């Protein structure tokens, strides 16, 4: 299949590109390479790369494309809150425009990387795809707008499919250390301390990055009638944050490293919800399998454990990278106005 992956140089995107290539697909990546192009280097000569902003989408990029996996955009709450207008342009408007281009050009399927954070704001509970959501915050509001826009564009010829991805964990060549399991592992390695805000009793749905890639593949290939204009939750299991801290500290204890768990005050914004993955299992016959424990083992094998100061680099922490790049741009502008 000829597949376009937007955001293909990102944390999930790189693993999706790998999975598509392994199954013999022809892959084009559209990405502005905000975090650099290094994660795609291993695919050199095997993919086509369009280095561009999804906000400038050109319908000609869809010629011959049979399926799109759309992952480009701002990918968490802090970056969306930091620059709400960029977030709206990328996550809401550009997604709507991309889907309209697919519908117009006869691309039969678009799989959208939406987010479980859409369930945030209803309060603690177990949610499925029929739950009436009340998203709060710039990020989840833009994801909800995009979901609705996609569903409105569904037609005989065009099938949008929405994947509400839980918080992702695990190793990818483009690492993110701003996602709860990965953050805990980084903090445990760097500082030997994990903070449990409000005791860490909050529930979160989680899923390994390779399982998310597989969910996109399954959805791309599924019979039209099974997935046409459908929403699927994507997660392996619901975990309490406290449990995640124990899994990380216990895994490190097995390697001889002691990690202290410390109680900390509850933050102003608390995310606390669970979701069901039954629909994906029943309709697609696919259930994410890779547990947090297995994933931590994989991370410990692949991370540079001797020189792990590198793990604190802002490139792996989206909001830190965004604020750093913007302050560099501001200094350059100030410099240019003086000289």
Ligand X SMILES: NC(=O)c1ccc[n+]([C@@H]2O[C@H](COP(=O)([O-])OP(=O)(O)OC[C@H]3O[C@@H](n4cnc5c(N)ncnc54)[C@H](O)[C@@H]3O)[C@@H](O)[C@H]2O)c1
Nearest residue to 168 (alpha-carbon basis) of 180, 186, 184: 180
Give the residue closest to ligand X by C-beta: 10
230 binds ligand X (CB under 6 A): no
176 binds ligand X (CB under 6 A): yes
Q: What whole-number distance in Å separates Cα of residue 251 and Cα of residue 293?
A: 8
* Site track for ligand X across 234-273, x = CB under 6 A: ----------------------------------------
Query: To 10 degrees, the CA torsion angle through 4, 10, 16, 17?
Result: 60
Contact region with ligand X (CB under 6 A), list: 10-18, 151-159, 186-194, 276-284: 10-18
- 8 A C-beta contact, residue 114 and residue 167: no
Q: What whole-number distance in Å separates Cα of residue 46 and Cα of residue 245?
A: 39
Q: How far is the CB of 168 from ligand X (least distance, A)?
A: 3
Q: How far is the CB of 35 from ligand X (least distance, A)?
A: 6
Contact region with ligand X (CB under 6 A), list: 68-76, 119-127, 247-255, 269-277: 68-76
Task: Determine how β-strand 203-208 pairs with β-strand 237-240.
Answer: antiparallel
Out of 3, 68, 69, 72, the residue judged to bind ligand X by CB under 6 A: 72
Out of 25, 31, 77, 208, the residue judged to bind ligand X by CB under 6 A: 31
Structure tokens belonging to residue 70? 């759309």
- 8 A C-beta contact, residue 196 and residue 263: yes
- 8 A C-beta contact, residue 87 and residue 79: yes
Q: In 116-218, which ranges are E strands?
A: 126-127, 159-165, 167-169, 193-197, 203-208
Contact region with ligand X (CB under 6 A), list: 40-48, 70-78, 264-272, 290-298: 70-78
Out of 4, 54, 241, 300, the residue judged to bind ligand X by CB under 6 A: 54
* Site track for ligand X across 132-151, x = CB under 6 A: --------------------
Out of 2, 18, 26, 55, the residue judged to bind ligand X by CB under 6 A: 55
Out of 4, 12, 153, 290, the residue judged to bind ligand X by CB under 6 A: 12
Query: To 10 degrees, the CA torsion angle through 175, 206, 141, 284?
Result: 110
35 binds ligand X (CB under 6 A): yes
State which H helix or E strand residue 302 sits in: helix 292-302
Of residues 155-174, those binding ligand X (CB under 6 A)? 165, 167-168, 174
95 binds ligand X (CB under 6 A): no
Q: What whole-number distance in Å separates Cα of residue 62 and Cα of residue 214?
A: 23
Nearest residue to 119 (alpha-carbon basis) of 96, 136, 100, 106: 136
Q: How far is the CB of 251 from ligand X (least distance, A)?
A: 20
* Site track for ligand X across 297-336, x = CB under 6 A: ---------------------x------------------
75 binds ligand X (CB under 6 A): yes
Give Cβ neighbours of residue 327 (< 8 Å, ≥ 6 apart).
Answer: none
Chain residues in the site for ligand X (CB under 6 A): 7, 9-13, 31-35, 53-55, 71-73, 75, 90, 113, 115, 165, 167-168, 174, 176, 179, 318
């Amino acid at each position: 299949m000829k597949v376009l992956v937007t955001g293909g140089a990102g944390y999930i995107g790189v693993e999706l590109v790998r999975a598509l290539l392994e199954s013999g697909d022809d892959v084009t990546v559209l990405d502005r390479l905000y975090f650099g192009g290094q994660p795609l280097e291993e695919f050199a000569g095997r993919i086509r790369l369009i280095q561009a902003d999804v906000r400038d989408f050109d319908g000609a990029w869809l010629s011959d494309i049979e399926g799109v996996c759309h992952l480009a955009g701002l990918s968490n709450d802090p970056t969306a809150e930091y620059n709400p207008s960029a977030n709206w342009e990328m996550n809401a408007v550009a997604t709507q425009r991309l889907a309209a281009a697919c519908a117009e050009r006869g691309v039969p399927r678009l799989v959208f990387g939406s987010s479980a954070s859409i369930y945030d704001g209803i309060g603690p509970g177990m949610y499925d795809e029929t739950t009436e959501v009340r998203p709060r915050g710039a990020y989840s509001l833009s994801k909800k707008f995009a979901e609705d826009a996609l569903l409105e564009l569904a037609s005989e010829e065009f099938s949008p499919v929405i994947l509400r991805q839980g918080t992702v964990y695990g190793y990818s060549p483009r690492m993110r250390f701003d996602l709860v399991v990965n953050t805990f592992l980084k903090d445990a390695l760097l500082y030997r301390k994990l903070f449990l805000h409000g005791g860490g009793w909050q529930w979160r749905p989680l899923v390994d990055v390779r399982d998310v890639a597989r969910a996109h593949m399954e959805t791309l290939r599924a019979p039209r009638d099974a997935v046409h204009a459908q929403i699927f939750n994507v997660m392996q299991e619901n975990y309490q944050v406290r449990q995640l801290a124990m899994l990380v500290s216990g895994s490190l204890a097995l390697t001889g490293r002691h990690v202290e768990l410390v109680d900390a005050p509850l933050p102003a914004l608390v995310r606390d919800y669970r979701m069901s993955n039954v629909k994906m299992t029943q309709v697609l016959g696919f259930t994410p399998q890779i547990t947090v424990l297995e994933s931590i083992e994989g991370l410990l094998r692949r991370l540079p454990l001797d020189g792990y100061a590198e793990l604190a680099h802002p490139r792996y922490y989206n909001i830190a990278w965004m604020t750093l790049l913007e302050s560099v741009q501001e200094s350059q502008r100030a410099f240019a106005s003086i000289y």
